Amino acid sequence: MPDDKSSEGIQQESVQQVASPGTVIPPAPPYNPPSPPAQSVSDSRMEGAIHAVEDRVKRAEWLMIGLTAGIVLLTLGLVIVGILQWRVMSGQLGEMKSSSGQTDQLISKTGTLAENAGKQADRSKDLADRMKDQADRTKTIAEQAVIQANAATVAANAAKSAAQTAISTLHVSERAYVAFGAPQWSMEQKTIDIRIENDGRIPSGKVEVVAHEATVDVPTVDAVSNLATATEKHWQRTIFQTIIPTVPMSIKIPIVKMDSERLKTGLQLVMVVGFISYNDGFDDSPITREPFCVQSLYSVPLKQVLLSPCDPVEYLPRMELVDGYPNNEQSGKPN
The residue among 136, 156, 174 that closes a domain is: 174
Domain containing residue 309: CATH number:
2.60.40
- Cβ within 8 Å of residue 210, ≥6 positions away: 235, 236, 237, 274, 275, 277, 325
Q: Are residues 158 and 246 in the same domain?
A: no
Q: For residue 86, give Cα distances in angstroms to 81, 92, 93.
A: 8, 10, 10
Does residue 24 sit within a domain? no
Maximum distance among all Cα pairs of the chain, rounded to whole angstroms: 216
The residue among 129, 145, 174 that closes a domain is: 174
Q: Are residues 186 and 167 in the same domain?
A: no
**Threshold 0.75, pTM exceeds:** no
Q: Are residues 99 and 184 in the same domain?
A: no
Examine the pLDDT at 72 and tell me if it is beyond 90: no
Q: Are residues 164 and 183 in the same domain?
A: no
Quick: pLDDT tens for 20-60.
Answer: 444 445 555 555 555 555 556 567 777 888 888 888 888 88
Quick: pLDDT tens for 241-257.
Answer: 999 999 999 999 999 99
In which domain, by residue range, is 56 found?
Answer: 38-174
Quick: pLDDT tens for 182-240.
Answer: 899 888 899 999 999 999 999 999 999 999 999 999 888 776 778 989 999 999 999 99
Strand partners, 253: 192
Number of domains observed in the structure of the chain: 2
Query: 193 by DSSP, 3-state: which?
Result: strand
Does residue 77 sit within a domain? yes
Q: Are residues 182 and 308 in the same domain?
A: yes
Does residue 128 sit within a domain? yes
User: For residue 48, which amino acid is it?
Assistant: G
Does residue 13 sit within a domain? no
Q: Are residues 169 and 184 in the same domain?
A: no
The residue among 150, 174, 198 that closes a domain is: 174
